[in-house]
Structure formats: C-alpha cells, structure tokens
C-alpha cells in the first residue's frame, strides 16, 4: 500500500503563520548594540581556530579555513542583524537569524558539524560558568506535566500527516534506522529496509513472538505495532498524537491486524495492565528531566514477571546534559517544546533509583542516525515545492531545514548518540 494512500486522510491544514515576531524583528537599542559587540567578539574568537570559512558582504573573512574555499562556509548576509540576534538571544538568536535569512551555508550540515565538534570550547569557560544568569529558562507551560504534554506533542507531531509523508519512507518511521553498511553514502532505496531492521532488532531484544503481550509507548504511525502483530503478538500502543493515531489505525485496519493491535490516545502515566514486553522508540525525549523516574516506574509497574523492556533513546554526554538541562533552546521554542535528551548515565541512575529493573544492554547506533537524517534532509529539499503547497511558509521551511541539518551534524560529530537499551528485572 502506498504512502500516499495512508497520508491523504486525517490531515489537518498546515498552520499558516503570517508573522514570526522574533524572526521578523531585529533587536535594537543600546542593550542590543552592546550585546552585538560582545557577540561579534566572541564569535570571531570562536571561529578563529575552526576549519570554517565565514564570509561577510564586504569581503572580510573569518575562521581558520578563510583561505580555503573548499572548507565549509558560513555566509553572513546581514552581519549587524546576525550579531544583534546572537547577542540578545544566544543560540536561539543564532537559529532565528538563519530563519530570517541573516546567514546561510551551502552545506548546512557540514558547517554545523564544525561548530558541534567544538561545542565545549566555543564559549570561554568563565562565561560558561555564568550560563544560568543569562540563558532563558523553560516556560512553565511547556513542562511535560499531564496537563501540558498533549499540547507539546501536538505542536510537532500533529503538524500534518501529509507533511511528514513527504520526507519519510514507506514505513513512515520517524526515528533512527539501522543500516547494514555505513561505509558508503546513504541511499534512499535502502532506508525502508534499514527502518525495518531497526524495528526487528528491538522486537528480537524484547523477545516478541506469538502470544506476546506488548505495550508500545509512543505509536508513531504504527510500523512497530504492525511488525509485532505480524509476529503473532497482541499489541497495545499508546500515543498523545491525534493525527498519528488516526493514520496508524488506518494502516492497521488495511493490514487486517485490527484484532491484534489497539491504539489508545493516552498518557503513558495512565497505562495499566500486565505486559510481557514494553517497547518505546524515541519517545523518552518527550518525557522531561523531572518525569524520567515516573516514566521508568510506570514501565516497571506494568511489566509481567520475566518481561523485557527495550527503549530507544537519543542521548547526549552527561556533563553537557547537566549543563543544559534547564536551558530553553531554539529546538524547544520552534521544534520540540518540552524536549529533553538524557545521558546514558542518567538513564542508569534513574532506573536504579526508581525501579526494580536493571540495564542489560545498551547498543549504540548514533552514526546510523546521521545517515537517516541525511536522507530525510535530502528528501525534504527535493520536495520543498510540495511542502510549500501544503501551506508551510518560507520561514517554516528554513526552520525545518535547520532542524534536520542541526540534528544530522550532532550525530556526525558525536555530540549526540542514540541507543537501544534493554532492561529486565533484577535477578
């Protein structure tokens, strides 16, 4: 069954945002001028040893790669606006400046990878210690409380099924794939098989087979539930995305598996029952730091004796997680409200503190996510006119281009990882 058949239904109109206040308006006034001056000094210091070529309209070049036109390029079209936004908004301003067209990069992911590889040293250590004094804190209404979580999820996952279908493969899987070969450039024709390989590895680790009672936390568009049911399992999947649930139910019905799979619009905190296997693929990032213990305790509470848990999680280094866990970022503001990336150490500590479970295996597939994201980004660019036809304006399209490239760069430089984590009860 084609992806178009699935995606043409249960799609709400794309948000037609006529204005983006913090993108449309460049900060002005004395404070902005001072902040811009400081930002320019820090930026020039940060790039002076980086293999990047920063180009200004007057011909000025920054960066250690300034003499090499083959180095990744960052082109400042409106330097004054760029530094004003950067000075006032930090990394949020950096992203908004791209959305506004103040800067561009011919190979956006390659340029961002250069910065990501040196993330710990871009800002002097003495200024990093003052981080909490000048960074914006998370808005209370975006914390992942039971009252807020559904709105947070809707802002991303309920954008439009048609939109996601434009750059995902036929499995409609929106998480890292698992490729058989990373030595060659990724090919679109390999992506669907790589997504199925990822899912099958999770189901194998969770020992899912005939008669297994499976709980899936985070349905997506239903591919994992379908593959588990095809093995003979009975699946209950829970989600807070209205759009994803509707399309997942369509796919399940079309596959003739409605008697084996149910999909409930339900917060994970309200799940009851007993399950032989609990699986969750890249949903933990929507849980939030303060609710991580609740997430694992809920799983522990519904896991049957002898049961197995597999959680696929994007992770970041522990020290960076501690430094940034209270920071409100560009990704929070524009892409994933309430999002939080744990470290593997935090997951281990939380499991020990909150449950009777233990981590049995932690399998890294970070480089596979870089491949996955590159294919999504290439597909997104190739179908940009179709994205526009859905009603998404140029600022939105730049925003998503930056998000996909930023994410790819994070996995390419090793700043981000993704792991399949197996848990069972302690012996």
Q: 280 has which bridge partners?
A: 311
| Sequence-distant (≥ 6) Cβ neighbours of residue 21 within 8 angstroms | none
User: Which pLDDT belongs to residue 331?
Assistant: 96
pTM for this prediction? 0.92
261, with CB counted inside 10 A (0-12, 13-18, 19+), is buried
List the domain boundaries for the chain. Answer: 21-134, 140-425
Are 156 and 334 within 8 A, CB to CB? no
Residues 418, 85: Cα–Cα separation, whole Å: 31
Residue 129 has pLDDT above 60, yes or no: no
147 DSSP 8-state letter: T
Q: What is the pLDDT of residues 335-346, one digit of tens each?
A: 999 999 999 999
Q: Which two tokens stand for residue 424?
A: 């069972």
Q: What is the pLDDT of residues 71-94, one digit of tens each?
A: 999 999 999 999 999 999 989 999
Residue scoring higher pLDDT (45 or 77): 77
C-alpha closest to that of 215 among 314, 302, 312, 306: 302
39 DSSP 8-state letter: H
Q: What is the pLDDT of residues 255-283, one digit of tens each?
A: 999 999 999 999 999 999 999 999 999 99
CATH number of the structural domain 140-425 = 3.40.50.150
Question: Helix (H, G, I), strand (E, B), or coil: what is residue 393?
Answer: coil
Strands 275-281, 303-315: pairing is parallel
Average pLDDT, the chain: 92
Residues 396, 389: Cα–Cα separation, whole Å: 13
Give me the count of residues in the chain.
Answer: 427
C-alpha closest to that of 221 among 311, 280, 161: 161
Are 334 and 149 within 8 A, CB to CB? no
Residues 257, 249: Cα–Cα separation, whole Å: 10
Q: What is the pLDDT of residues 356-394, one digit of tens each?
A: 999 999 999 999 999 999 999 999 999 999 999 999 999
User: Which pLDDT belongs to residue 65?
Assistant: 73
Furthest C-alpha separation in the chain: 69
Strands 234-239, 213-217: pairing is parallel
Residues 404, 409: Cα–Cα separation, whole Å: 9
Give the DSSP H/E element, type plus range, for residue 292.
Answer: helix 292-302
Q: Which two tokens stand for residue 127?
A: 């200024």
- Percent of the chain clearing pLDDT 70 (strictly above): 92
């Amino acid at each position: 069954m084609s992806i178009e058949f699935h995606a043409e239904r249960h799609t709400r109109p794309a948000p037609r945002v006529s204005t983006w206040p913090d993108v449309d308006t460049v900060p002005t006034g004395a404070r902005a001028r001072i902040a811009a001056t400081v930002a320019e000094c820090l930026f020039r210091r940060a790039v002076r040893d980086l293999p990047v070529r920063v180009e200004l309209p007057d011909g000025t070049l920054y960066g250690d790669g300034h003499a090499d036109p083959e180095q990744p390029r960052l082109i400042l079209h409106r330097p004054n606006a760029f530094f004003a936004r950067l000075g006032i908004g930090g990394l949020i301003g950096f992203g908004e400046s791209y959305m506004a067209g103040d800067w561009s990069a011919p190979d956006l992911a390659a340029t961002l990878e250069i910065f990501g590889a040196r993330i710990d040293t871009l800002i002097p250590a003495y200024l990093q210690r003052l981080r909490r004094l000048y960074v914006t804190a998370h808005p209370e209404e975006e914390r992942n409380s039971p009252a807020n979580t559904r709105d947070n999820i809707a802002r991303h996952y309920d954008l439009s099924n048609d939109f996601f279908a434009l750059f995902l493969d036929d499995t409609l899987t929106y998480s890292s794939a698992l490729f058989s070969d990373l030595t060659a450039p990724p090919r679109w024709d390999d992506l669907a098989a790589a997504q199925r390989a990822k899912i099958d590895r999770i189901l194998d680790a969770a020992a899912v087979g005939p008669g297994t009672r499976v709980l899936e936390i985070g349905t997506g568009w239903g591919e994992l539930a379908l593959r588990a049911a095809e093995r003979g399992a009975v699946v209950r999947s829970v989600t807070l995305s209205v759009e994803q649930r509707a399309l997942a139910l369509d796919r399940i019905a079309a596959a003739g598996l409605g008697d084996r799979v149910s999909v409930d619009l339900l917060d994970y905190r309200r799940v009851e029952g007993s399950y032989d296997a609990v699986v969750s693929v890249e949903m933990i990032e929507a849980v939030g730091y303060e609710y991580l213990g609740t997430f694992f305790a809920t799983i522990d509470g519904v896991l049957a004796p002898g049961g197995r848990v597999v959680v696929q999680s994007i992770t970041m280094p522990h020290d960076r997680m501690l430094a940034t866990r209270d920071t409100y970022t560009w990704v929070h503001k524009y892409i994933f409200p309430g999002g939080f990336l744990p470290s593997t150490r935090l997951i281990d500590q939380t499991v020990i503190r909150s449950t009777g479970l233990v981590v049995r295996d932690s399998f890294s597939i970070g480089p596979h996510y870089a491949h996955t994201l590159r294919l999504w980004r290439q597909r997104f660019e190739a179908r940009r006119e179709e994205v526009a036809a859905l009603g998404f304006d140029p600022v939105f399209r730049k925003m998503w281009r930056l998000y996909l490239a930023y994410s790819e760069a994070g996995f390419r430089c090793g700043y981000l990882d993704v792991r399949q984590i197996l848990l069972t009860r302690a012996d």
